[in-house]
């Protein structure tokens, strides 16, 4: 029997599905292979218990000199830097004391001494408790009985083997063959591992006198590459779906298209816009967005961290019960009551393991709750969408060949991106310690992207370009001769799928309207065809549940509840806004809107004086037409009327400037004429701008607009207006594909 070692579980599934029609070899990932290869003298410690013991090992050490706090919550996060550094030293078989002795690195001498003391303390604790861990593993033996069943071991290496990994492989008494591709980005690490000095595809074997290899040239594809930039991160989601459509039209099967998200949270944007469930997400749905996790996080933060920002997310009765829990058994009972069946299936094992740990170790409820939240934050629900296009992070793409590749967020600091522990030592010290340098680790990240892109037929890359973001310099290394183009222009072209066979078009006459609102007047002036379909032909789309209208309603409800201060005002707005919100909506609101609404409430609370009314509708005759408008908020102060119109658009940094450029936008003029006031204000919530609108010529502007109403339906060519039109598919011939 042959043991075949691949990089990821996804690669194993792909191999099993597409492999030869015969008995498959035994399949393992590289991490599983290395874990099964050794037998420690004592069992390896769990991650949660390791954090507790490692924290204990640091209690008598001057952590402040390392810039790390002693409080468990903060230490559990920042103390990982020390642990990861010690683990890296072990894996590269580097002695900590030798690093500390080098005079040129004297500024690290005390740091190394403190870290050495932590390691020794930790080793003593584990020895007493009967556990093993990598950073104190002084002895082990090879699991020869396991490998005896295999005639040969074949490893497809898409990464890096540490010195310890290579030492393990040399001790396995079976023929081993390693397949490894080397390009300009991972060449230094290939030399470090096997002494390879040239690019190529290598078949490497272990001989009595060291590593030997056979070399073949690398396969070099020339994909069609499209690079676009956007001024807003979320706009890349449209780009992704448009490129998927384009790739399919070019003959690429959806199953052979991969969407790479260097920052995992971009998947939330894609989920929101994946109307037809065309996508499947390799990373699943993170448990942190589940109702259970949200409740537990809020309870923890309020009780143990006194974080008042989370008070609005839980009811007082639940908080009171949580504050009475003093052991893990009580915490588990509460969680089981709160959890849905779906959530229980994900966390059942975690609750069992932590309860057993709490019975062995004396830990307070705060520590246990923190460990549980930390563990659950790493969990996910399996994706059940069933889409054919896979969304994944770059590490999950290793070993996968895709004909169509789409990568978003290709920005500096994101691609390539190192973990914080990789930056623990400077390059000079890493070179001395024979640790992989920062440049080599970045090179490995680049290698993952490079191999994926070179194996594709079609490549689409996007990034954000604004005052804070710029494209990754790696982009110029990959495609020095390609000039990126604006994504906004591209979307206009892409969303208009050219097709001569269009649906029947009805360009009829438009009778003079009897009643007009600001929205219907703008529609008539900007696209008479859209107005005709909506108001004359009566072809109306189902109403959309827009976030902007929900924000309007939440503000109105919060004001009706008569908040006593700006802080309570914000709490009430968030409470009403998050009611009945889906997981995706909660994510979008909390990430994109919570801070904006806090700033809005602080400023808006001062305006809540006088008689306040919401969603007030008024109409008056204006010649042969009745003008009607609904104001978001009307405040009567003495004989003065103040009109406030909320704006939640994120497509502009100043709504008033955008409004003044559009001659067809006459909303403020409607308000001024109907309420006979010049106190008309746009409340630009996204940008926290309260601006008075000049409406001194309201009557003249409305009269001019009504005198020039179109009498015949005609399709407009303004794609910025068409993009959000409910008649886009029929009017422009855009294909709505569900694959």
In a domain, 22, yes or no: yes
Q: Is the model's pLDDT at 94 over the cut of 80?
A: yes
Q: pLDDT digit string (tens) for 410-424?
A: 999 899 887 765 656
Q: pLDDT digit string (tens) for 211-259?
A: 898 999 987 778 999 999 998 888 888 899 889 989 998 999 999 999 9
Is the same domain home to 150 and 90?
no
Continuous segment of H or E residues that includes residue 465 = none
Is the same domain home to 586 and 674?
yes
| Strands 152-157 and 2-6, sheet pairing | parallel
Range of weakest confidence among 21-25, 499-503, 527-531, 696-700: 499-503
Is the same domain home to 272 and 306?
no
Is the same domain home to 79 and 202?
no
Classify 195 in phi/psi space as left (phi over 0), alpha (psi -120 to 50) or beta: left
pLDDT value of position 267 = 85
Residue 167 CB neighbours (<10 A): 12
**What mean pLDDT comes out for the span 562-567?**
92
- Contact, 631 vs 576, CB < 8 A? no
Is the same domain home to 401 and 453?
yes
- Contact, 305 vs 346, CB < 8 A? no
Q: Number of helices and strands (H, E) in the chain? A: 32, 23
pLDDT value of position 25 = 83
Nearest to 636 by CA among 603, 669, 613: 613
Nearest to 203 by CA among 155, 158, 160: 155
Residues 6+ apart with CB under 8 A from 239: 228, 230, 406, 408, 460, 462, 487, 490, 491
**What mean pLDDT comes out for the span 377-393?**
83
Q: Is the model's pLDDT at 375 over the cut of 60?
A: yes
* Residue that is last in its domain, among 94, 117, 136: 136
Nearest to 181 by CA among 168, 166, 193, 172: 193
Residues 6+ apart with CB under 8 A from 606: none
Return d(Cα 31, Cα 12) in angstroms, integer: 13
Q: Is the model's pLDDT at 693 over the cut of 80?
A: yes
Q: Is the model's pLDDT at 489 over the cut of 60?
A: no
Q: What confidence category does residue 585 fall into, taking pLDDT thresholds of 50, 70 and 90?
A: confident
| Strands 625-637 and 640-647, sheet pairing | antiparallel
The answer to whether the peptide bond before residue 416 is cis (omega within 30 degrees of 0) is yes
In a domain, 713, yes or no: yes
Contacts by residues 94-103 (CB-CB < 8 Å, ≥ 24 positions apart):
94/433, 94/434, 94/435, 98/433, 99/429, 99/432, 99/433, 102/432
> Is 111 or 377 the better-scoring residue by pLDDT?
377
In a domain, 433, yes or no: yes
- Contact, 529 vs 723, CB < 8 A? no
Is the same domain home to 119 and 144?
no
- Contact, 485 vs 227, CB < 8 A? yes
- Provide the β-strand partners of residue 297: none
41 phi/psi in degrees, rounded to 5: -65, -25
Tokens of 715: 């399709």
Is the same domain home to 665 and 557?
yes
In a domain, 731, yes or no: no
Task: Give the orientation angle of helix 328-338 with respect to helix 341-360, to 10 degrees.
Answer: 180
Is the same domain home to 396 and 481?
yes
Is the same domain home to 86 and 187?
no
Return d(Cα 466, Cα 231) in angstroms, integer: 6
In a domain, 115, yes or no: yes
Residue 734 CB neighbours (<10 A): 17
In a domain, 119, yes or no: yes
Dihedral of alpha carbons 382, 387, 391, 396, sign: positive
**What mean pLDDT comes out for the span 433-438?**
79
Tokens of 179: 């397949």
- Contact, 282 vs 14, CB < 8 A? no
Return d(Cα 359, Cα 361) in angstroms, integer: 6
| Strands 404-407 and 458-464, sheet pairing | parallel
- Contact, 668 vs 680, CB < 8 A? yes
Return d(Cα 167, Cα 170) in angstroms, integer: 5
* Residue that is last in its domain, among 348, 381, 414: 381
**What mean pLDDT comes out for the span 647-652?**
81
pTM of the entire structure? 0.64
Is the same domain home to 89 and 25?
no
Query: What is the arrangement of strands in the sheet containing 210-216, beginning at the earlier edge strand?
Result: 26-29, 2-6, 152-157, 176-182, 200-207, 210-216
- Contact, 448 vs 397, CB < 8 A? yes
Q: What single-letter DSSP state applies at residue 24?
A: P
**What is the CATH number for 626?**
3.90.320
Residue 700 CB neighbours (<10 A): 10
173 phi/psi in degrees, rounded to 5: -90, 60
Nearest to 353 by CA among 337, 334, 380, 372: 372
Is the same domain home to 269 and 366?
no
- Contact, 188 vs 182, CB < 8 A? no
Is the same domain home to 280 and 291?
no
Nearest to 296 by CA among 349, 351, 362, 361: 351
Q: What confidence category does residue 714 fall into, taking pLDDT thresholds of 50, 70 and 90?
A: confident
Nearest to 675 by CA among 632, 631, 705, 637: 631
Q: Is the model's pLDDT at 668 over the cut of 90?
A: yes
Classify 156 in phi/psi space as left (phi over 0), alpha (psi -120 to 50) or beta: beta
Residue 173 is part of which domain span? Answer: 2-40+140-216
Q: What confidence category does residue 739 fall into, taking pLDDT thresholds of 50, 70 and 90?
A: very low
Q: Is the model's pLDDT at 61 over the cut of 90?
A: no
Averaged pLDDT score across all residues of the chain: 85
35 phi/psi in degrees, rounded to 5: -65, -40
Alpha helix stretches (DSSP H) within 324-416: 328-338, 341-360, 365-376
- Contact, 370 vs 72, CB < 8 A? yes
In a domain, 504, yes or no: no
> Is 138 or 273 the better-scoring residue by pLDDT?
138
pLDDT value of position 496 = 39
In a domain, 338, yes or no: yes
State the total domains in the chain: 5
Return d(Cα 226, Cα 238) in angstroms, integer: 15
- Contact, 345 vs 352, CB < 8 A? no
Residue 61 CB neighbours (<10 A): 18
* Residue that is last in its domain, among 136, 162, 191: 136
**What mean pLDDT comes out for the span 44-67?**
85
Nearest to 155 by CA among 180, 172, 192: 180
pLDDT value of position 447 = 94
Three state DSSP letters for 577-616: HHCCCCHHHHHHHHHHHHHHHHHHHHHHHHHCCCEEEEEE
Range of weakest confidence among 156-165, 461-470, 500-509: 500-509
């Amino acid at each position: 029997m042959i043991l075949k070692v691949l990089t990821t579980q996804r690669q194993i599934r792909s191999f099993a599905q597409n492999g030869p029609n015969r008995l498959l070899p035994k399949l393992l990932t590289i991490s599983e292979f290395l874990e099964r290869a050794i037998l420690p003298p004592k069992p390896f410690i769990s991650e949660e218990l390791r954090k507790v013991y490692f924290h204990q090992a640091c209690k008598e050490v001057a952590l402040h000199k390392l810039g790390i706090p002693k409080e468990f919550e903060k230490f559990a996060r920042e103390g990982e830097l020390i642990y990861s550094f010690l683990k890296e030293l072990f894996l590269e078989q580097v002695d900590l004391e030798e690093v500390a002795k080098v005079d040129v690195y004297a500024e690290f001498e005390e740091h190394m001494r403190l870290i050495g003391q932590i390691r020794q303390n930790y080793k003593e604790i584990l020895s007493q408790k009967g556990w093993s861990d990598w950073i104190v593993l002084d002895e082990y033996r090879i699991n020869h009985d396991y490998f005896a069943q295999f005639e040969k071991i074949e490893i497809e290496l898409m990464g890096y083997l540490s010195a310890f990994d290579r030492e393990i492989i040399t001790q396995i008494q079976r023929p081993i063959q390693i397949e490894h591709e080397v390009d300009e980005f991972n060449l230094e690490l290939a030399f470090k591992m096997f002494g390879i000095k040239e690019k190529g595809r290598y078949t490497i074997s272990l001989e009595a006198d060291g590593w030997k290899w056979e070399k073949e040239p690398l396969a070099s594809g020339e994909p069609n590459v499209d690079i676009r930039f956007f001024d807003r991160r979320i706009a890349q989601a449209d780009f992704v779906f448009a490129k998927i459509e384009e790739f399919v039209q070019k003959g690429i099967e959806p199953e052979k298209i991969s969407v790479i998200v260097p920052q995992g949270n971009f998947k939330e944007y894609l989920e929101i816009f994946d109307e037809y469930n065309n996508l499947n997400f390799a990373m699943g749905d993170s448990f942190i967005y589940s109702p259970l996790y949200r409740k537990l996080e809020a309870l923890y933060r309020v009780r143990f961290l006194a974080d008042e920002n989370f008070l609005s997310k839980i009811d007082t009765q639940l908080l009171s019960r949580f504050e009475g829990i003093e052991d893990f058994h009580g915490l588990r009972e509460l969680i089981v009551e709160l959890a849905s069946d779906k959530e229980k299936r994900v966390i059942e094992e975690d609750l069992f393991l932590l309860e057993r740990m709490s019975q062995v170790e004396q830990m307070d409820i705060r520590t246990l709750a923190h460990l549980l939240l930390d563990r659950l934050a790493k969990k996910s629900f399996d994706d059940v969408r069933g889409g054919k296009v896979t969304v994944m992070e770059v590490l999950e793409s290793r070993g996968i060949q895709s004909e169509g590749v789409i990568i978003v967020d290709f920005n500096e600091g994101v691609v390539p991106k190192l973990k914080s522990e990789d930056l623990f030592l400077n390059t000079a010290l890493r070179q001395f310690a024979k640790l992989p340098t920062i440049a080599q680790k970045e090179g490995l990240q680049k290698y993952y992207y490079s191999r994926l892109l070179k194996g594709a037929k079609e490549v689409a890359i996007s990034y954000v370009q604004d005052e804070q973001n710029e494209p990754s310099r790696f982009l110029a290394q990959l495609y020095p001769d390609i000039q990126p183009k604006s994504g906004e222009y591209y979307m206009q072209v892409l969303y208009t799928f050219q097709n001569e066979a269009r649906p029947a078009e009805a360009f009829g006459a438009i009778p003079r309207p009897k009643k007009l609102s600001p929205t219907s007047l703008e529609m008539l002036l900007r696209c008479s065809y859209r107005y005709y379909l909506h108001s004359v032909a009566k072809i109306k789309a189902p109403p959309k549940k827009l976030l902007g209208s929900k924000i309007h309603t939440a503000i109105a409800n919060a004001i009706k509840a008569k908040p006593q201060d700006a802080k309570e005002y914000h709490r009430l707005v968030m409470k009403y806004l998050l009611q009945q919100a889906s997981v995706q909506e909660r994510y979008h609101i909390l990430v994109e809107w919570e801070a904006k609404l806090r700033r809005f409430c602080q400023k808006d609370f001062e305006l809540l004086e006088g008689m306040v009314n919401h969603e007030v509708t008024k109409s008056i005759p204006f010649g042969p037409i009745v003008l009607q408008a609904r104001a978001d908020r009307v405040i009567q102060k003495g004989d003065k009327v103040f009109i406030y119109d909320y704006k939640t658009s994120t497509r502009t940094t100043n709504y008033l400037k955008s409004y003044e450029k559009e001659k067809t936008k006459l909303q403020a003029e409607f308000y001024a004429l109907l309420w006979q006031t010049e106190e008309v204000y746009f409340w630009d919530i996204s940008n926290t701008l309260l601006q008075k609108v000049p409406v001194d010529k309201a009557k003249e502007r409305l009269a001019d607009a009504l005198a020039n109403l179109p009498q015949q339906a005609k399709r407009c060519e303004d794609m910025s207006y068409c993009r959000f039109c409910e008649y886009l598919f029929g009017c422009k011939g855009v294909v709505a594909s569900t694959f």
